[in-house]
A and B are shown apart, each in its own frame.
Chain A
Amino acid sequence: MATPVLDKVEAEASASPYITVTFRIRRFNPEVSAEAVWEDFQLEIDPKERVLDGLHKIKWDLDGTLTFRRSCAHGICGSDAMRINGRNRLACKTLIKDLNPEKPITVEPIKGLTVLKDLVVDMEPFFQAYRDVMPFLITKETNEPTRERLQSAEDRARFDDTTKCILCAACTSSCPVFWNDGQYFGPAAIVNAHRFIFDSRDEAGEQRLEILNDRDGVWRCRTTFNCTDACPRGIEVTKAIAEVKKALITRRF
């Protein structure tokens, strides 16, 4: 085969890459003040770097008090969902160049969960909703490994999309219904219920559907698609919710 070439990327790499950008960050520290304020930081950054890299530059070189969660830095652990330029995204999966660095980049905590400090929110209500849908495989047989249980590739594919969830809360905290009423299970919990309802090995679909038939369940969804837009894993969240609604009506899943 032909020698692979990579002209485009390497031409970019050789030029001096740094530009100056402004990060406009929503700051809140109840030990200092009860009010949240916007604070601007200017920094030099390569546009191919992540928003998370920018936050680190601020924390490490400018202001050590800036507080946010992060871990893997490549979109797998789900720690750093935040509202960037008004949209929920993972800071580690959002590149500066994709944001129009001419204007200040605004960074705020995700909405609908109590802000504890700067970009850190209270995740407990989010995980409680997740736990409430019984997010684990329920079968009549015991858990002891004896011989292999089979599942067809088609049955496995049926729920593939919703297995990708990393519980970052980008979807739930982008949902206007959730903003107005924190009792609503929210998209992420429904996605995780979907993952089991449509798993051919699971035997508790009816129970999960009953949980989601609650007044704070799937019927609160107003199909605004914010969740699907927000999902950093590309899960078709609104579609999954619709499938759960349909299963509730037809009792077929």
Chain B
Amino acid sequence: MKIHKYDTVIVGAGGAGMRAAIESTKRSRTAVLTKLYPTRSHTGAAQGGMAAALANVEEDNWEWHTFDTVKGGDYLVDQDAAEILAKEAIDSVLDLEKMGLPFNRTPNGTIDQRRFGGHSRNHGEAPVRRSCYAADRTGHMILQTLYQNCVKEGVEFFNEFYVLDQMITEEDGVKRSAGVVAYELATGEIHVFQAKAVIYASGGCGKFFRVTSNAHTLTGDGQAAVYRRGLPLEDMEFFQFHPTGIWRMGILLTEGARGEGGILRNKDGERFMEKYAPVMKDLASRDVVSRSIYTEIREGRGCGPEGDHVYLDLTHLPPEQLDAKLPDITEFARTYLGIEPYTDPIPIQPTAHYAMGGIPTNVEGEVLSDNSTVVPGLYAAGEVACVSVHGANRLGTNSLLDINVFGRRAGIAAAEYSQKADYVELPENPAEFVVSQIEQLRTSTGTERVAEIRRELQETMDANVMVFRTEQTIKTAVEKIAELRERYKNVAIQDKGKRFNTDLLEAIELGNLLDLAEVMAVSALARKESRGGHYREDYPNRDDVNFMRHTMAYREVGDDGTESIRLDYKPVVQTRYQPMERKY
């Protein structure tokens, strides 16, 4: 076991982690621990753009952007945070440009902008061009640009280090972060990182669904690490299903395709979104579009022999426009489906995409241990966190924005904190949990296989807690997850080695997914209303009287060692906007 000491430790090297690292490295001795090489992070898979009211191509302002974000989140958004997001968006984009990001340009040389779902002129009048983009590879450009600037700033990376535990020391009844415990993939060695400040920027947890746009590595490791240590997770029932995943595979096809004029059609060729969202049509918010697609499919208007998908039609757009604005997604259609998007529509279905919920933080990125108490020295930003700027449904292009705005804020806040704080004493046996977890898996003679449990988890999640949910389906999922968690105790791996043991890590990742799936299902069961990405067929309306509040889920361990989930609730911060009926 090795012990390291840093002022600031950042967990994860996607957009939020690297944006934080650029700030933190300038101000404090910083280590970035990442389970992937930085340029492998899933930020790179984001396509369509980053929202900011630059008003380069038409009238726009940050207040309209704030409103759209609040409305898009079905009023579960904390409005103070949304205002910061929209205001700081403008500098955030200009900052990335200064760092070298190659945005697409207008004829007069300014950053070009395009339409995106839910972003509107003057509080919903019509779609507005707010998304700053680089073809359909904006996330790739952001990830590369941030990595380039990390190289420039000399950011210290520990690549292929898996953070498996959060160290918390309780002093005078106050929980403080002492650092993290990590596992080095190359050697199997365990490393304890003592740090004054820790920032989680480890991304989402979409891999508990089968049809998902998420990478294999998005297994919620950060959320699980803090949750296991008694800290809450907020709004985990809210998961976004992106309307346009490649049929059966889930690979993302950007909403920018519809921003450029693409149209969704059912088997009759009908532009069905006109029925569901007369003003915004195909550019309604993602939850609305995904539900509309499944409504078409359920009512027998889906495409194909099994009627299980609809079409994304780009055939009316000039090939030059597709080549210039959507080169990657058209290539995906050719590579994975053998379809030529110039002439043929692309079969799509909603795909599990983004966790709106996560580790609760305030607008400085400080992690909360209840509705208001800050955990000194602990920060989170990006998809792992819940600020909450996305509420019940995130708008497209607001996540690339979130990682830049709140990654930067967390990086500054953590580094400033670590400059004035002292180290918190390490727990007595800091690596105990990780050592025993690994030992248990390495020596297990159990009969369960990781892949089989994961498959069953993904199947139950797809079947029961996806776009449409009911009391019955969620209960089915809760029971199935409980069964799988029990079976997981009997899981065994084949690779017993120390070197690059990805078999072992997949087992640990599955444990994280099971924990988070349970939190998600239990939170969803208790929310007896429909709001944003959480749609209950048995409670189809939003219920502001009883449920205009954030869910806070805590792990409880009884005296006899039994685990349970305790749900609590947190008020929503409302400033400018009163909840209204949501129409697009």
A-side residues, CB < 8 A to B, are 1-4, 6, 8-10, 13-14, 29-32, 48, 59-61, 63-65, 67-79, 93, 95, 116-118, 120, 123, 127, 131, 135-137, 139, 141, 143-153, 156, 159-160, 163-167, 196, 199, 201-202
Contacts and interface: CB of A to CB of B under 8 A. Distances in A.
B41 A77 contact: yes
B215 A73 contact: yes
Given A67-B503, A73-B251, 15 more contacts: A6-B311, A60-B449, A61-B449, A65-B494, A65-B495, A65-B503, A71-B42, A72-B45, A74-B332, A143-B98, A145-B91, A148-B111, A153-B106, A156-B105, A199-B100
Nearest to B91: A145
Contacts of A201: 100
Contacts of B335: 75, 93, 95
B503 A29 contact: no
A139 to B, nearest CB: 8
B339 interface: yes
Interface stretch (B145-153, B228-236, B530-538): B145-153
Given A136-B151, A153-B105, A9 B41 contact: no
A64 B492 CA distance: 10
Nearest to B218: A71
A148 B94 contact: yes
Contacts of A48: 336, 338
A9 B500 contact: no
B572 interface: no
B315 interface: yes
B92 to A, nearest CB: 8
B73 interface: no
Interface in B323-356: 328, 332, 335-339, 344-345, 347
Contacts of B251: 73-74
A4 B311 contact: yes
Task: Report, as a range, how many residues of chain B touch the other chain.
Answer: 35 or more
Nearest to B214: A72
B425 to A, nearest CB: 35
Nearest to A153: B105
A48 B95 CA distance: 42
Contacts of A61: 449, 451
A180 B43 CA distance: 35
Contacts of A202: 100
Nearest to B47: A76
Given A31-B497, A71-B215, A59 B503 contact: yes
A4 B269 CA distance: 6
A77 B105 contact: no
B311 A71 contact: no
B151 A137 contact: no
A167 B347 contact: no
A199 B148 CA distance: 14
Interface stretch (B136-144, B374-382, B513-521): B136-144
Contacts of B493: 64
Contacts of A63: 494
B316 to A, nearest CB: 7
A110 to B, nearest CB: 14
Nearest to B500: A117
Contacts of A116: 186, 499-500
A126 B344 CA distance: 40
A112 to B, nearest CB: 18
A146 B335 CA distance: 42
Given A29-B499, A70-B216, A137-B99, A4 B265 contact: yes
A106 B503 CA distance: 22
B37 interface: yes
A35 to B, nearest CB: 16
A93 B331 CA distance: 11
Contacts of A10: 304-305
Contacts of B97: 145, 148-149
A163 B149 CA distance: 15
- Which residue, of A29, A72, A127, A145, has the highest number of chain B Cβ atoms within 10 A? A72
Contacts of A76: 44-45, 140, 328
Contacts of A118: 500
Nearest to A94: B335
B95 A166 contact: no
Given A116-B500, A152-B109, A137 B100 contact: yes
24 contacts: A1-B269, A3-B268, A64-B493, A64-B494, A65-B503, A69-B40, A71-B217, A73-B216, A74-B332, A77-B40, A77-B41, A116-B186, A118-B500, A137-B99, A145-B92, A145-B98, A147-B94, A148-B94, A148-B97, A148-B110, A149-B97, A150-B108, A150-B110, A163-B144
A77 B215 contact: yes
B499 A64 contact: no
Contacts of B305: 10, 13-14
Contact of A1 (B268, B316, B498, B501): B316
Contacts of B56: 148
Contacts of B339: 6, 9
B303 interface: yes
B338 to A, nearest CB: 7
A48 B339 CA distance: 13
B540 interface: no
A3 B42 CA distance: 36
A72 B215 contact: yes
A77 B186 contact: no
B152 A79 contact: no
A3 B45 contact: no
B444 interface: no
B414 interface: no
A4 B345 contact: yes
A154 B528 CA distance: 54
Nearest to B305: A14
Interface string B162-189: 0000000000000000000000001000
Nearest to A141: B98
Contacts of A160: 102
Nearest to B497: A31
B107 interface: yes
A71 B328 CA distance: 18
B337 A9 contact: yes
Nearest to B109: A150
Contact of A159 (B102, B311, B338, B502): B102
Nearest to A196: B100
B539 to A, nearest CB: 36
B371 interface: no
Most buried by B among A75, A147, A148, A159: A148
Interface string B292-325: 0000000000011100000101011000000000
